[in-house]
Amino acid sequence: RSGRDSSSMLDESRPLSAAIAELAFRQHGVVARRQLLEVGIPGSTIAVWVDQGRLHPLHRGVYAVGHRRIPQEARWLAGVLACGPSSALSFGSAGQCRGILPRDQRLAVHVSVPRSSGCNPDGVAVHRVRSLTDVSLHRGIPTTTATRTVWDLASILPPLQTRRAFEQAEKLR
């Protein structure tokens, strides 16, 4: 496999359906319209696939491939994809993704974006931040680092819960 990211052009020798299946597999079953266009799928074909139920809209320009029964990781990644390539899962969502917070509570999808970003997708709690350089891939999802995540959580959680989150992050290293 080449070192290209998931949004780059895939192997042209394979059928497009195989390229899309591989992309969706690597991304927890979700893809962005921009990624489909990059692999050569015309916009008109994307519209037909939505009508046929092959793609299921989750956010504007973000789809579940094949069906709507997607795992939590797919919901998180769909929120990040909906906010664009300079965004990252953050706050409680990043805490749950990284195992810093328990997953038993269903939280809104929280995504941090640069202040200049105009994204505001329905169903996503968008946080506009001055700087978003402390991001890494976690489970294939651009996510704020554990340090940044705990820092963000400290701004919204009571002191005892913040302490527990910090201790859990330390335990996970």
pLDDT in tens, 101-156: 998 888 899 999 999 888 999 999 999 999 899 999 999 999 999 999 999 999 99
Residue 164, amino acid: R
Which class for 160: exposed (0-12), middle (13-18), buried (19 or more C-beta within 10 A)?
exposed
The SS3 of residue 127 is strand
**What integer pLDDT is reported at residue 170 of this predicted model?**
85
Q: How far is CA 128 from CA 11, 24, 40, 81, 153, in A?
A: 36, 28, 32, 16, 15
Write the pLDDT tens digit of every residue in 8-25.
Answer: 444 454 577 788 889 999
Interior angle at CA 120, CA 118 and CA 126, nearest 5: 100
Q: What is the DSSP secondary structure assignment for residue 169, as one 8-state letter?
A: H
**What integer pLDDT is reported at residue 21 of this predicted model?**
87
Q: How far is CA 23 from CA 27, 48, 64, 135, in A?
A: 6, 19, 11, 21
**What integer pLDDT is reported at residue 14 of this predicted model?**
58
Q: Looking up tokens 């496999």, which residue turns up?
A: 1
Euclidean distance between CA atoms 23 and 65, whole angstroms? 10
Residue 47, amino acid: A
Q: Which residue has the higher pLDDT, 97 or 106?
A: 97
Task: Kindly indicate the confidence band of residue 7, based on its pLDDT and cuts at 50, 70 and 90.
Answer: very low
Residue 35, amino acid: Q
Average pLDDT over the chain reads 88
**What integer pLDDT is reported at residue 31 of this predicted model?**
97
Residue 38, amino acid: E
Q: Are strands 88-89 and 109-114 parallel, antiparallel or unpaired?
A: antiparallel
**What integer pLDDT is reported at residue 128 of this predicted model?**
95
**What integer pLDDT is reported at residue 34 of this predicted model?**
96
**pTM for the full model?**
0.86
**What integer pLDDT is reported at residue 118 of this predicted model?**
86
The packing angle between helices 146-154 and 159-172, to 10°, is 170
Euclidean distance between CA atoms 16 and 36, whole angstroms? 9
